[in-house]
Amino acid sequence: MAEKVYSIIEVAEQDGRWGYTDINFSEGRTSDPPGSGAGSVWRQISPLPIAGSGLAAAGSAEDRRRVYYQESDRSVVGAVYDPSSPDGPWSGYRVLTRETGAPSAAVGSALAVTRGSGGLRVLYLDDGRLDGGRRLVRLEEREREWTYAVCTDAPRGSPISPLAAVTTGLGEYTYYLDERGHVVEVSWPGAEGWSVCDVTSGVEDCPAPAPLSRLTAAGYGTDFRLVYFLDEGNHPVQLEHRVIEGTKKNPGGSALWQALNLSAYGAPAAAVGSGPAVVLTVGDHPQLYYPDADRMVVGVEFNGRGWDVRHAGVDADGGEGAPPVAVGGPLAAVAETDGSAARVYYLGAADPGADPQEGDHRLIELRGAGDKWTSRDLGAELELPDIATGVPSPFAAICTSGPRVYYTSEE
Protein backbone atom coordinates (compact mmCIF):
# COMPACT_ATOMS: atom_id res chain seq x y z
CA MET A 1 0.00 0.00 0.00
CA ALA A 2 1.35 3.40 -1.00
CA GLU A 3 2.30 5.76 1.79
CA LYS A 4 -0.29 8.44 2.44
CA VAL A 5 0.48 12.00 1.46
CA TYR A 6 -1.04 14.67 3.68
CA SER A 7 -1.78 18.22 2.64
CA ILE A 8 -3.98 21.07 3.82
CA ILE A 9 -7.08 22.03 1.87
CA GLU A 10 -8.66 25.47 1.92
CA VAL A 11 -12.38 25.55 1.09
CA ALA A 12 -13.48 29.13 0.45
CA GLU A 13 -16.56 31.06 -0.59
CA GLN A 14 -16.01 34.18 -2.67
CA ASP A 15 -18.86 36.26 -4.13
CA GLY A 16 -21.32 33.45 -3.45
CA ARG A 17 -19.28 30.72 -5.16
CA TRP A 18 -17.37 27.92 -3.43
CA GLY A 19 -14.06 26.44 -4.47
CA TYR A 20 -11.03 24.76 -2.93
CA THR A 21 -7.24 24.98 -3.07
CA ASP A 22 -4.48 22.64 -1.91
CA ILE A 23 -2.10 24.98 -0.09
CA ASN A 24 0.86 22.56 -0.28
CA PHE A 25 0.68 21.74 -3.99
CA SER A 26 0.34 23.82 -7.13
CA GLU A 27 -1.44 22.40 -10.15
CA GLY A 28 0.02 23.11 -13.59
CA ARG A 29 -0.26 21.82 -17.12
CA THR A 30 2.18 19.63 -19.05
CA SER A 31 3.78 20.92 -22.23
CA ASP A 32 2.50 17.96 -24.26
CA PRO A 33 0.21 18.81 -27.20
CA PRO A 34 -3.57 18.56 -26.84
CA GLY A 35 -4.92 15.07 -27.38
CA SER A 36 -1.74 13.35 -26.18
CA GLY A 37 -3.47 12.15 -23.00
CA ALA A 38 -1.30 14.30 -20.78
CA GLY A 39 -2.98 16.30 -18.09
CA SER A 40 -2.20 18.46 -15.13
CA VAL A 41 0.82 17.95 -12.92
CA TRP A 42 1.18 18.68 -9.21
CA ARG A 43 4.22 20.39 -7.75
CA GLN A 44 4.92 20.62 -4.02
CA ILE A 45 5.32 24.28 -3.00
CA SER A 46 5.59 24.09 0.80
CA PRO A 47 6.45 21.56 3.56
CA LEU A 48 3.79 18.88 4.02
CA PRO A 49 1.88 18.49 7.28
CA ILE A 50 2.21 15.33 9.33
CA ALA A 51 -0.63 13.07 10.40
CA GLY A 52 -2.25 14.51 13.50
CA SER A 53 -0.78 17.96 12.97
CA GLY A 54 -2.27 20.84 14.89
CA LEU A 55 -3.96 23.41 12.69
CA ALA A 56 -4.74 27.09 13.21
CA ALA A 57 -5.69 29.94 10.88
CA ALA A 58 -5.92 33.72 11.03
CA GLY A 59 -7.39 36.31 8.70
CA SER A 60 -8.37 39.95 8.42
CA ALA A 61 -10.95 42.08 6.68
CA GLU A 62 -8.40 42.77 3.92
CA ASP A 63 -8.45 39.01 3.16
CA ARG A 64 -4.98 38.40 4.56
CA ARG A 65 -4.79 34.73 5.48
CA ARG A 66 -2.29 32.63 7.42
CA VAL A 67 -2.36 28.90 8.16
CA TYR A 68 -0.15 27.23 10.79
CA TYR A 69 0.69 23.52 11.03
CA GLN A 70 3.49 21.04 11.83
CA GLU A 71 5.77 19.46 9.25
CA SER A 72 7.68 16.13 9.46
CA ASP A 73 10.14 17.16 12.20
CA ARG A 74 7.30 18.93 14.08
CA SER A 75 8.59 22.36 13.15
CA VAL A 76 5.81 24.93 13.02
CA VAL A 77 5.17 26.23 9.50
CA GLY A 78 3.30 29.41 8.65
CA ALA A 79 1.75 29.49 5.16
CA VAL A 80 0.95 32.94 3.78
CA TYR A 81 -1.77 33.74 1.23
CA ASP A 82 -0.61 36.00 -1.60
CA PRO A 83 -2.83 35.98 -4.70
CA SER A 84 -0.20 37.90 -6.70
CA SER A 85 2.46 35.17 -6.39
CA PRO A 86 3.37 33.60 -9.78
CA ASP A 87 3.92 30.22 -8.09
CA GLY A 88 0.44 30.10 -6.61
CA PRO A 89 -1.40 32.02 -3.89
CA TRP A 90 -0.08 29.75 -1.11
CA SER A 91 3.54 29.37 -2.28
CA GLY A 92 4.92 31.63 0.45
CA TYR A 93 5.77 30.11 3.83
CA ARG A 94 8.10 30.39 6.82
CA VAL A 95 9.33 27.61 9.09
CA LEU A 96 9.00 29.65 12.24
CA THR A 97 10.58 27.33 14.79
CA ARG A 98 13.79 26.87 12.76
CA GLU A 99 13.90 30.55 11.87
CA THR A 100 13.70 31.64 15.51
CA GLY A 101 15.45 28.68 17.18
CA ALA A 102 12.28 27.82 19.11
CA PRO A 103 11.72 24.22 20.24
CA SER A 104 9.67 21.97 18.00
CA ALA A 105 6.09 21.12 18.87
CA ALA A 106 5.24 18.05 20.94
CA VAL A 107 3.71 15.06 19.19
CA GLY A 108 0.04 15.84 18.67
CA SER A 109 0.29 19.34 20.10
CA ALA A 110 -2.61 21.61 19.27
CA LEU A 111 -1.91 25.03 17.78
CA ALA A 112 -3.65 28.32 18.52
CA VAL A 113 -3.30 31.78 17.01
CA THR A 114 -4.40 35.23 18.11
CA ARG A 115 -3.62 38.77 17.06
CA GLY A 116 -1.59 41.05 19.33
CA SER A 117 -0.07 44.49 18.97
CA GLY A 118 2.16 44.50 15.91
CA GLY A 119 1.24 41.09 14.55
CA LEU A 120 0.15 37.54 15.22
CA ARG A 121 0.94 35.17 18.09
CA VAL A 122 1.15 31.40 17.55
CA LEU A 123 0.99 29.09 20.59
CA TYR A 124 1.89 25.40 21.03
CA LEU A 125 3.31 22.92 23.55
CA ASP A 126 6.98 22.03 23.11
CA ASP A 127 8.58 18.65 22.42
CA GLY A 128 10.63 18.14 25.57
CA ARG A 129 13.89 19.86 24.76
CA LEU A 130 13.34 22.04 27.82
CA ASP A 131 12.55 20.59 31.26
CA GLY A 132 10.57 17.52 30.20
CA GLY A 133 8.48 19.23 27.56
CA ARG A 134 4.87 20.25 27.04
CA ARG A 135 5.64 23.80 28.14
CA LEU A 136 3.71 26.57 26.43
CA VAL A 137 5.66 28.31 23.64
CA ARG A 138 4.67 31.66 22.20
CA LEU A 139 5.86 32.76 18.76
CA GLU A 140 5.50 36.53 18.42
CA GLU A 141 5.37 38.53 15.19
CA ARG A 142 6.39 42.19 15.17
CA GLU A 143 6.81 44.01 11.87
CA ARG A 144 7.15 40.67 10.04
CA GLU A 145 9.98 39.47 12.29
CA TRP A 146 9.42 36.57 14.68
CA THR A 147 10.75 35.79 18.15
CA TYR A 148 9.77 33.20 20.72
CA ALA A 149 9.42 32.71 24.48
CA VAL A 150 8.87 29.59 26.59
CA CYS A 151 6.59 29.92 29.62
CA THR A 152 8.75 28.14 32.16
CA ASP A 153 6.60 29.34 35.07
CA ALA A 154 3.43 27.72 33.72
CA PRO A 155 2.52 24.08 34.45
CA ARG A 156 3.02 21.49 31.74
CA GLY A 157 0.09 20.76 29.50
CA SER A 158 -1.59 17.37 29.51
CA PRO A 159 -0.48 14.95 26.74
CA ILE A 160 -3.69 15.65 24.80
CA SER A 161 -4.33 19.21 25.90
CA PRO A 162 -6.26 21.51 23.57
CA LEU A 163 -5.31 25.17 23.19
CA ALA A 164 -7.35 28.34 22.78
CA ALA A 165 -6.09 31.92 22.52
CA VAL A 166 -7.81 35.33 22.55
CA THR A 167 -6.94 39.02 22.67
CA THR A 168 -8.76 41.82 24.52
CA GLY A 169 -8.00 45.47 25.09
CA LEU A 170 -5.77 44.57 28.03
CA GLY A 171 -3.66 41.79 26.58
CA GLU A 172 -3.32 38.30 25.11
CA TYR A 173 -4.57 35.14 26.84
CA THR A 174 -3.98 31.45 26.19
CA TYR A 175 -5.88 28.52 27.74
CA TYR A 176 -4.99 24.84 28.06
CA LEU A 177 -5.41 21.86 30.40
CA ASP A 178 -2.52 20.92 32.68
CA GLU A 179 -1.57 17.42 33.85
CA ARG A 180 -4.17 17.62 36.65
CA GLY A 181 -6.93 18.54 34.22
CA HIS A 182 -7.12 22.15 35.43
CA VAL A 183 -7.85 25.03 33.09
CA VAL A 184 -4.74 27.22 33.02
CA GLU A 185 -4.59 30.80 31.73
CA VAL A 186 -1.28 32.29 30.60
CA SER A 187 -1.51 35.99 29.80
CA TRP A 188 0.69 38.69 28.33
CA PRO A 189 -0.67 42.01 29.67
CA GLY A 190 1.85 44.18 27.83
CA ALA A 191 5.53 44.77 28.58
CA GLU A 192 5.32 43.19 32.04
CA GLY A 193 5.77 39.71 30.58
CA TRP A 194 3.46 36.79 31.26
CA SER A 195 1.43 35.77 34.26
CA VAL A 196 -0.10 32.39 35.07
CA CYS A 197 -3.51 31.68 36.61
CA ASP A 198 -4.99 28.29 37.60
CA VAL A 199 -8.56 29.23 36.72
CA THR A 200 -10.03 25.96 38.02
CA SER A 201 -8.56 26.45 41.51
CA GLY A 202 -9.71 30.06 41.61
CA VAL A 203 -13.38 29.33 40.93
CA GLU A 204 -15.55 27.93 43.71
CA ASP A 205 -17.10 24.56 42.79
CA CYS A 206 -15.63 24.71 39.29
CA PRO A 207 -16.54 21.53 37.37
CA ALA A 208 -13.62 19.35 36.29
CA PRO A 209 -13.18 19.06 32.51
CA ALA A 210 -13.78 15.65 30.96
CA PRO A 211 -10.51 13.83 30.18
CA LEU A 212 -11.14 14.20 26.44
CA SER A 213 -12.63 17.70 26.62
CA ARG A 214 -11.50 20.31 24.15
CA LEU A 215 -11.50 24.06 24.75
CA THR A 216 -12.80 27.04 22.89
CA ALA A 217 -12.62 30.68 23.95
CA ALA A 218 -13.65 34.21 22.97
CA GLY A 219 -12.37 37.61 24.02
CA TYR A 220 -13.68 41.07 23.22
CA GLY A 221 -13.88 44.65 24.46
CA THR A 222 -11.69 45.99 27.21
CA ASP A 223 -11.31 42.70 29.07
CA PHE A 224 -14.18 40.28 28.50
CA ARG A 225 -13.09 36.64 28.36
CA LEU A 226 -15.11 33.44 27.93
CA VAL A 227 -13.80 29.87 28.02
CA TYR A 228 -15.86 26.75 27.26
CA PHE A 229 -15.23 23.07 27.97
CA LEU A 230 -17.16 19.85 28.67
CA ASP A 231 -17.41 18.58 32.24
CA GLU A 232 -17.11 14.94 33.30
CA GLY A 233 -20.77 14.40 32.35
CA ASN A 234 -20.04 15.99 28.94
CA HIS A 235 -22.19 19.04 29.78
CA PRO A 236 -21.01 22.38 28.37
CA VAL A 237 -19.53 24.76 30.95
CA GLN A 238 -18.79 28.45 30.57
CA LEU A 239 -16.00 30.17 32.50
CA GLU A 240 -16.57 33.92 32.42
CA HIS A 241 -14.09 36.58 33.46
CA ARG A 242 -16.21 39.40 34.86
CA VAL A 243 -15.09 42.95 35.53
CA ILE A 244 -17.03 44.63 38.34
CA GLU A 245 -17.08 48.40 38.09
CA GLY A 246 -15.95 50.55 40.98
CA THR A 247 -18.28 51.80 43.70
CA LYS A 248 -17.93 54.25 46.59
CA LYS A 249 -16.82 51.39 48.85
CA ASN A 250 -14.59 49.82 46.18
CA PRO A 251 -13.45 52.61 43.85
CA GLY A 252 -11.00 50.42 41.98
CA GLY A 253 -13.57 47.76 41.14
CA SER A 254 -12.58 44.11 40.90
CA ALA A 255 -12.48 41.13 38.57
CA LEU A 256 -13.25 37.46 39.04
CA TRP A 257 -13.95 34.22 37.21
CA GLN A 258 -17.34 32.51 37.45
CA ALA A 259 -18.45 29.09 36.20
CA LEU A 260 -21.86 28.39 34.65
CA ASN A 261 -23.03 24.91 33.67
CA LEU A 262 -25.19 25.52 30.60
CA SER A 263 -27.22 22.38 31.31
CA ALA A 264 -29.11 24.63 33.78
CA TYR A 265 -30.64 26.26 30.69
CA GLY A 266 -31.48 22.95 29.01
CA ALA A 267 -28.28 22.46 27.04
CA PRO A 268 -28.00 18.71 26.33
CA ALA A 269 -24.90 16.64 27.02
CA ALA A 270 -22.37 16.52 24.22
CA ALA A 271 -21.04 13.49 22.39
CA VAL A 272 -18.01 12.04 24.18
CA GLY A 273 -14.76 13.62 23.04
CA SER A 274 -16.46 16.26 20.92
CA GLY A 275 -15.15 19.77 20.49
CA PRO A 276 -17.25 22.89 21.11
CA ALA A 277 -16.87 26.02 18.98
CA VAL A 278 -17.92 29.55 19.94
CA VAL A 279 -18.68 32.62 17.86
CA LEU A 280 -19.63 36.17 18.84
CA THR A 281 -22.57 37.72 17.00
CA VAL A 282 -24.35 41.09 17.18
CA GLY A 283 -23.76 42.76 20.54
CA ASP A 284 -20.88 40.35 21.26
CA HIS A 285 -23.34 37.68 22.36
CA PRO A 286 -21.69 34.23 22.46
CA GLN A 287 -23.14 31.27 20.58
CA LEU A 288 -21.72 27.84 21.43
CA TYR A 289 -22.01 24.92 19.02
CA TYR A 290 -21.28 21.24 19.63
CA PRO A 291 -22.67 17.77 18.70
CA ASP A 292 -25.12 16.24 21.19
CA ALA A 293 -25.17 12.58 22.24
CA ASP A 294 -26.86 11.73 18.90
CA ARG A 295 -24.09 13.69 17.16
CA MET A 296 -26.52 16.34 15.89
CA VAL A 297 -25.29 19.94 16.07
CA VAL A 298 -26.76 21.98 18.92
CA GLY A 299 -26.45 25.73 19.43
CA VAL A 300 -26.60 27.36 22.88
CA GLU A 301 -27.05 31.09 22.37
CA PHE A 302 -26.92 33.94 24.87
CA ASN A 303 -29.87 36.31 24.36
CA GLY A 304 -28.80 39.11 26.70
CA ARG A 305 -30.59 37.67 29.75
CA GLY A 306 -30.30 33.90 29.52
CA TRP A 307 -29.58 31.13 27.05
CA ASP A 308 -31.64 29.65 24.21
CA VAL A 309 -31.03 26.10 23.00
CA ARG A 310 -31.26 25.62 19.22
CA HIS A 311 -31.34 22.12 17.70
CA ALA A 312 -29.73 23.36 14.49
CA GLY A 313 -28.86 19.95 13.09
CA VAL A 314 -32.32 18.45 13.67
CA ASP A 315 -34.24 21.54 12.50
CA ALA A 316 -32.13 22.21 9.39
CA ASP A 317 -33.65 22.14 5.90
CA GLY A 318 -37.19 22.58 7.04
CA GLY A 319 -37.01 19.74 9.55
CA GLU A 320 -35.40 17.17 7.27
CA GLY A 321 -32.23 17.50 9.34
CA ALA A 322 -28.55 17.84 8.53
CA PRO A 323 -26.13 14.88 8.56
CA PRO A 324 -24.82 13.93 12.01
CA VAL A 325 -21.24 14.66 13.02
CA ALA A 326 -18.80 11.79 12.53
CA VAL A 327 -17.64 10.06 15.71
CA GLY A 328 -14.81 12.15 17.14
CA GLY A 329 -15.08 14.45 14.15
CA PRO A 330 -13.86 18.06 14.30
CA LEU A 331 -16.11 21.11 14.30
CA ALA A 332 -15.45 24.81 13.63
CA ALA A 333 -17.67 27.88 13.43
CA VAL A 334 -17.52 31.49 12.25
CA ALA A 335 -19.90 34.44 12.36
CA GLU A 336 -20.71 36.20 9.11
CA THR A 337 -19.07 39.60 8.72
CA ASP A 338 -22.22 41.50 9.74
CA GLY A 339 -22.84 39.16 12.69
CA SER A 340 -26.32 38.26 11.44
CA ALA A 341 -25.75 34.51 11.06
CA ALA A 342 -23.37 31.74 12.02
CA ARG A 343 -21.78 29.05 9.89
CA VAL A 344 -20.79 25.73 11.42
CA TYR A 345 -18.45 23.29 9.64
CA TYR A 346 -17.91 19.67 10.56
CA LEU A 347 -17.01 16.21 9.36
CA GLY A 348 -20.28 14.52 8.44
CA ALA A 349 -20.89 10.85 9.24
CA ALA A 350 -21.19 8.46 6.33
CA ASP A 351 -24.71 7.66 5.20
CA PRO A 352 -26.13 4.37 6.53
CA GLY A 353 -25.39 1.59 4.07
CA ALA A 354 -22.63 3.54 2.33
CA ASP A 355 -19.47 1.80 1.19
CA PRO A 356 -17.26 1.47 4.31
CA GLN A 357 -14.25 2.27 2.16
CA GLU A 358 -15.64 5.75 1.59
CA GLY A 359 -15.44 6.60 5.30
CA ASP A 360 -16.54 9.89 6.81
CA HIS A 361 -15.13 12.31 4.27
CA ARG A 362 -17.92 14.86 3.97
CA LEU A 363 -17.39 18.52 4.83
CA ILE A 364 -20.80 19.82 5.93
CA GLU A 365 -21.84 23.45 6.32
CA LEU A 366 -24.73 24.49 8.58
CA ARG A 367 -25.74 28.11 8.07
CA GLY A 368 -28.39 30.07 9.88
CA ALA A 369 -29.66 31.91 12.92
CA GLY A 370 -32.37 31.18 15.47
CA ASP A 371 -34.57 28.31 14.26
CA LYS A 372 -33.79 28.69 10.56
CA TRP A 373 -30.88 26.57 9.38
CA THR A 374 -29.81 25.08 6.06
CA SER A 375 -27.17 22.44 5.41
CA ARG A 376 -24.83 21.92 2.49
CA ASP A 377 -22.63 18.93 1.65
CA LEU A 378 -19.58 20.79 0.38
CA GLY A 379 -17.58 17.58 0.18
CA ALA A 380 -19.89 16.08 -2.45
CA GLU A 381 -20.66 19.37 -4.19
CA LEU A 382 -17.01 20.28 -4.74
CA GLU A 383 -15.63 16.71 -4.89
CA LEU A 384 -13.21 17.64 -2.14
CA PRO A 385 -10.11 15.57 -1.36
CA ASP A 386 -10.66 13.06 1.43
CA ILE A 387 -10.46 14.35 4.98
CA ALA A 388 -7.80 12.56 7.05
CA THR A 389 -9.70 10.33 9.45
CA GLY A 390 -7.14 7.86 10.83
CA VAL A 391 -5.81 10.40 13.34
CA PRO A 392 -7.33 13.48 14.97
CA SER A 393 -7.69 16.04 12.18
CA PRO A 394 -8.88 19.44 13.41
CA PHE A 395 -10.72 21.99 11.33
CA ALA A 396 -9.91 25.69 11.35
CA ALA A 397 -12.30 28.35 10.07
CA ILE A 398 -12.04 32.11 9.58
CA CYS A 399 -14.16 34.76 7.87
CA THR A 400 -12.44 37.44 5.79
CA SER A 401 -14.19 38.51 2.59
CA GLY A 402 -16.06 35.23 3.02
CA PRO A 403 -15.79 32.01 5.05
CA ARG A 404 -12.61 29.91 4.70
CA VAL A 405 -12.33 26.41 6.14
CA TYR A 406 -9.11 24.40 6.49
CA TYR A 407 -8.56 20.68 7.03
CA THR A 408 -5.88 18.03 6.52
CA SER A 409 -6.48 15.69 3.60
CA GLU A 410 -4.98 12.32 2.82
CA GLU A 411 -4.32 10.86 -0.61
Q: Could you tell me which of 221, 231, 152, 145 has the C-alpha nearest to residue 186?
A: 152
| DSSP string of 202-233, one letter each residue | HSTTPPPBPTT---EEEEETTTEEEEEEEBTT
Domains and CATH numbers, the chain: 268-411 (2.120.10.70)
pLDDT digit string (tens) for 36-56?
444 567 889 999 999 989 999
Alpha carbon separation from 15 to 102, 231, 234, 384, 405 (Å, rounded) = 40, 40, 39, 20, 16
The answer to whether 81 and 90 are in contact (CB under 8 A) is: yes
Instruction: Assign 295 a pLDDT band (cuts: 50, 70, 90).
Output: very high
CA 24 to chain centre: 20
- Separation between Cα atoms, residue 249 and residue 391, nearest integer Å: 55
Buried b (16+ CB within 10 A) or exposed e, 288-324: bbbbbeebbbbbbbbeeeebebbbbbbbbeeeebbbb
Q: Could you tell me which of 251, 255, 231 has the C-alpha nearest to residue 242?
A: 255
In this predicted structure, the answer to whether residue 113 has a pLDDT above a threshold of 90 is yes
In this predicted structure, the answer to whether residue 353 has a pLDDT above a threshold of 80 is no
pLDDT at 76: 98
pLDDT digit string (tens) for 215-228?
999 999 888 999 99
- Separation between Cα atoms, residue 186 and residue 299, nearest integer Å: 28
pLDDT at 170: 87
- Separation between Cα atoms, residue 287 and residue 281, nearest integer Å: 7
| Mean pLDDT, the chain, integer | 89
Higher pLDDT, 192 or 375: 375
What is the three-class DSSP state of 45?
A: coil
